[in-house]
Amino acid sequence: MPACLICAAPVGDFISFGRMPIANGFLMPADFDREFFFELKTGYCERCHMVQLTELVDPSKMFHDHYAYFSSISVRMAQHFASFAGMVRERYVTAADPFVVEVGSNDGIMLQHFATAGLRHLGVEPSANVAAAARASGVRTVCRFFDEEAGHEIRKEYGAADAFLGANVICHIPDMHTLIKGVRALLKDDGVFVFEEPYLGDIVSKASYDQIYDEHVYYFSLQSLTPLLAQHEMEVIDVLPQTTHGGSMRYVVAKRGARPVADGVAALRERERAMGLMLPATYQELRRRIEKSRDDLVSLLKELRAAGKRVTGYGATSKSTTVTNYCGIGSDLVEFISDTTPGKQGRYSPGTHIPVVPYDRFVERYPDYAVLFAWNHGDEIVAKEQAFRKAGGQFISYVPNVHVMA
Ligand code: DWN
Ligand code: SAH
């Protein structure tokens, strides 16, 4: 059995999704026969409660100079990060001449708000193409992976940080111990580490298994983060649930004893206990719900196909790579996936090789059904696709179960 990445106890898998390609590895036909695959499988550590991948992909295969995901592609996410930055400035960045660091800063979607306010800031972003986009919009960015060494080096060059931020990135970093050591080394004594990630409680309650893919090494809960942070003399001082990415949790962390702990922390601990997040049986049940979701989706798509309906995909998300490969959905069931990201268009989906086409193709000739692979942006998408619905088109979602959206 593989060893837990956090506490080294043996961890068994509760599910395997089988052979899986790189989630964001949209590719050209010339590369089909040298596509990389690994086994996507997930385990729950009964000792430290961390849900995690039990086979890892080398980060350099995922984060490089042609990373496919540009954060600013969603208008709602841009608004969300404006508000995240505002909250950090208001509550935690109150000292004179503050310094803010963000890891996984991508195209600068959040840090630009610190940059335009004239505050000292630094993005740490290993994917060179998105880092270049951030620099082009005035966000100071270094192109590297953050680790312990980076924490020491940044402190030496820029001084200690008031706030260390991350969104949808901390769960991407396999060595959490060196990460936290780096954060500790870089933060002022009363500095804060604020990060938000897809929340395990939402994944379990919605059976949103598509959050599981190579980049997401961990599926955090308060219960699993608490002992990990304690080993490094840090603690969670506040928890703020978010609706983004299908349900996320924002954790505010400080050095132990440096700041008061909000009441919400104990309340969330209780809720997690009540939800059974610390019970192995919860994950066995989750596996059964995931298998049912797969079977229901495949049956529905086959039925529609047999009835002569046209079905396309909406949003070539990383998450869709797990769904299409696990369910065995190819272009026989989903004609194409439309996406607004220029770098994904004209390529093919990882593993199942469904054509990824510009958004215009969807509008030119509406399908009968569109599988909402970007279900986490459902509000934004449904609001702007009134014409599709008026033309008789319907969205299919598989969260929290497979259904045609009303
Ligand atoms: O954690 C991660 C999150 C933040 O972003 C990364 N590991 C990778 C990535 O995950 P994802 O690809 O599942 O993220 P999204 O935000 O669900 O991707 C949405 C996709 O849908 C993008 O390719 C853009 C596209 N899209 C579209 O075509 N029309 C999105 C919207 C809102 C639209 O209206
Ligand atoms: N924060 C953005 C981007 C999330 S995608 C948002 O929420 O939209 C994850 C990002 O983390 C990618 O841009 C990737 O290049 C970056 N990343 C991955 N490993 C990292 C590491 N060790 N240090 C810093 N950034 C990392």
The tens digit of pLDDT for each residue in 54-93 reads 999 999 999 999 999 999 999 999 999 999 999 999 999 9
Q: State whether the beta carbon of 172 lies less than 6 angstroms from ligand 2.
A: yes
Q: Please name the residue whose Cα sits nearest to atom 25 of ligand 1.
A: 315
Q: Are residues 206 and 311 in the same domain?
A: no
Question: Cβ of 383: how many Cβ atoms within 10 Å?
Answer: 9
Phi, psi of 88 (to 5 degrees): -65, -45
pLDDT per residue as tens digits for the range 235-268: 999 999 999 999 999 999 999 999 999 999 999 9
Residues 6+ apart with CB under 8 A from 357: 336, 337, 338, 339, 345, 346
The ligand whose atoms approach the alpha carbon of 378 most closely is: 1
| 44 token code pair | 């729950």
pLDDT at position 361 is 98
Beta strand spans in 202-274 (E): 218-219, 234-242, 248-255
Measured CA to CA, the distance from residue 192 to residue 258 in angstroms comes to: 10
Helices 280-306 and 318-327: angle between axes, nearest 10 degrees = 80
User: How much distance in Å is there from the Cα of 104 to the middle of ligand 2?
Assistant: 3
Measured CA to CA, the distance from residue 241 to residue 219 in angstroms comes to: 15
Q: Are residues 84 and 229 in the same domain?
A: yes
Q: State whether the beta carbon of 173 lies less than 6 angstroms from ligand 2.
A: yes
Question: Cβ of 161: how many Cβ atoms within 10 Å?
Answer: 27
pLDDT at position 82 is 98
pLDDT at position 406 is 86
Q: State whether the beta carbon of 168 lies less than 6 angstroms from ligand 1.
A: yes
Q: What CATH number should be reported for the domain holding residue 335? A: 3.40.50.720
202 within 8 A of 248, measured Cβ to Cβ = yes
**Average pLDDT of the chain, as a whole number:** 98
Phi, psi of 317 (to 5 degrees): -80, 165
Q: Are residues 273 and 396 in the same domain?
A: no
Q: Are residues 267 and 317 in the same domain?
A: no
Residue segments in the chain with a per-residue pLDDT below the cut of 70: none
Q: Final residue of a domain: which of 219, 243, 278?
A: 278
Q: Does some domain include residue 61?
A: no
User: How much distance in Å is there from the Cα of 70 to the middle of ligand 1?
Assistant: 8
In the beta sheet, which residues pair with residue 123? 102, 141
Measured CA to CA, the distance from residue 202 to residue 246 in angstroms comes to: 7
Q: Are residues 355 and 263 in the same domain?
A: no
The pTM is what?
0.98
Q: Are residues 217 and 251 in the same domain?
A: yes
Measured CA to CA, the distance from residue 251 to residue 174 in angstroms comes to: 18
Q: Are residues 239 and 333 in the same domain?
A: no
How many domains are contained in the chain?
2
Q: State whether the beta carbon of 125 lies less than 6 angstroms from ligand 2.
A: yes
Query: Helix H segments across 216-262?
Result: 222-230
- Distance linking the first and last C-alpha atoms of the chain: 44
Q: Are residues 128 and 182 in the same domain?
A: yes
Q: Residue 178, class by beta-carbon neighbours within 10 Å (0-12 exposed, 13-18 middle, 19+ buried)?
A: middle
| 229 token code pair | 């942070």
What b/e string do you get for 204-233 counting C-beta neighbours within 10 Å, with b at 16 or more? bebbbbbbbbbbbbbbbbbbbbbebbeebe
Strand pairing report for 37-44 and 13-21: antiparallel
Is 347 in a helix, a strand, or coil? coil
Closest CA to 17 of 375, 280, 294: 294
Domain membership of residue 114 as a residue range: 71-278
138 within 8 A of 165, measured Cβ to Cβ = no
Q: Are residues 258 and 338 in the same domain?
A: no
Q: Are residues 270 and 124 in the same domain?
A: yes
Q: Does some domain include residue 130?
A: yes
Q: Please name the residue whose Cα sits nearest to atom 25 of ligand 2.
A: 104
pLDDT at position 110 is 98
What b/e string do you get for 296-322 counting C-beta neighbours within 10 Å, with b at 16 or more? ebbebbeebeeeeeebbbbbbbbbbbb
162 within 8 A of 98, measured Cβ to Cβ = yes
Q: State whether the beta carbon of 131 lies less than 6 angstroms from ligand 2.
A: no
| 334 token code pair | 């989903």
Q: Are residues 213 and 150 in the same domain?
A: yes
Q: What CATH number should be reported for the domain holding residue 258? A: 3.40.50.150
Torsion of CA 145, 147, 151, 152, to 10 degrees: -110
Q: Are residues 317 and 205 in the same domain?
A: no
Q: State whether the beta carbon of 209 lies less than 6 angstroms from ligand 2.
A: no
